[in-house]
Amino acid sequence: MPRTRSNTRRNHMLLARQIIEVALEKGMNAGDHLPEKVFSEACGVSRTPIRSALKILEDKEIVTRREEEGFFLVVGPEQGLAEQPSQLGEVEDSLAARILSDRAERRIGDVQSVSAFVRRYSVPRSAVLNALKILTSEGIVAQLPGRTWAFQPMLDTPNAIGESLDFRLMLEPQAILAPGFSMDSQKVGLVRQQMQDFLDRPNGRMSAAGFLKLDCDFHAFIAESSGNRFVRGALLAHQRLRQTTQKDMALPEYRLRQSLEEHLDILDSLERMQLDLAADQMVLHLRRSQIRRPKAANRGIMPLGRGALR
C-alpha cells in the first residue's frame, strides 16, 4: 500500500536525525560540506530522500545550501548539534496541535493566511508552513489559490455528523466491494483484540472518547483494505477528520457496545471473504449509527446484539 504524505515526511524527519548522528560520528564542524553520496551510503538510502532530509535541516537553519556547491553544516558540536535530533519536528507538531485546538474551539475562522498564523503564534513562517503540511496530510486543511488555507468542515454539530454518515454510507460499502479488497491478517487481529478488550470492560467504564478512537480506527482499517485507491484515500482522510474534530457523542453505554459488536460481525464476514454480506452489514451498521445520533437516541429502537445479522 502506498505510503501517505504524512508517513513520508516522518521518514524524512527520521533521516534528518540520522544525518545529524552521522555528522557527529564523523566529527564534522560548522562550515563542513555534507556530501550527498557520503550520507546516502551511511544511511543506506538513495540521494533523493537525503536531499529531502537536508531540506528539512535547511528549514531548521541547521545546514545551508550553496548554489552548485551543495549543503554545508551551520550548527556544529560547539553550537549544540547533539541536541538537535530530539528537537526536530517538535515545533511543527506542537504548532499543528495548537492550530487544531484553536480551530476546534472556534478561535480560528474557516480561511486563514500564513501571515495571520505567524502573527497569532509568533513563530517563523517556515514553522507555520510545516505545521500546515502536517494538517494537510491529515485532511484538516487545504491550500487555496494564493497564500490562503481553508479548513475542512468540522464534525461538531448534528447536521455535520449527519452529512458525514451520508458520505460514509455512499463509500464504505463500496470500499469493501471494490475489486482487490485485502486485509492485513496481523492488523485485523490487533483491531479485533482492541475492540474485544474494550467490550470486556465493566459497566460504567466505557468512555465516549475511547470508543470514538476505536470506531475511527476500525473504519480506517476497512478503508485501508480497499482495492480502490481513490475510495481508500477519501475515506482515510475523512476518518482522520472525524478523529480530530468530531466531538464525543453522549450515547448510552449499551449503544457503544452494540456498535462494537457490529464491528466484530463485519470482521467475521470479511475474514470468511463474504464481502457482499460484509457490505450489507456495513450499510445496516451506518444506518443504525444514524438512528443512534443524539437527537434520535430515544426513539425506542430495540437493542441489537451480536449475531443478529447472520
* Tens of pLDDT, residues 251-275: 788 889 999 999 999 999 999 999 9
Average pLDDT value for residue range 39-49: 86
CATH 1.10.10.10 fits 5-87, yes or no: yes
Q: Domain residue spans in the chain? A: 5-87, 90-151, 158-296
pLDDT of amino acid 86: 59
Q: CA torsion sign, 209 to 212 to 218 to 224?
A: negative
Q: How confident is the model at residue 10 (pLDDT cuts 50, 70, 90)?
A: low
The pTM is what?
A: 0.58
Q: Which of 282, 257, 256 is nearest to 168 (CA)?
A: 282
Of 37-46, 93-102, 187-196, the range with the lowest mean pLDDT is: 93-102
Of 4-18, 94-108, 173-187, the range with the lowest mean pLDDT is: 4-18
| pLDDT(89) > 80 | no
Integer Rg of the chain from CA? 23
| pLDDT(303) > 70 | no
Alpha helices in 226-274 (DSSP H): 229-245, 253-271
Answer with the residue of higher pLDDT: 15 or 175: 175
Q: Which CATH number fits domain 90-151: 3.90.1150.10, 3.40.605.10, 1.10.10.10, 2.40.110.10?
A: 1.10.10.10
pLDDT of amino acid 240: 80
Report the CATH fold assignment for 158-296: Four Helix Bundle (Hemerythrin (Met), subunit A) (1.20.120)
**Which helix (H) or strand (E) segment is 23 a member of?**
helix 5-25
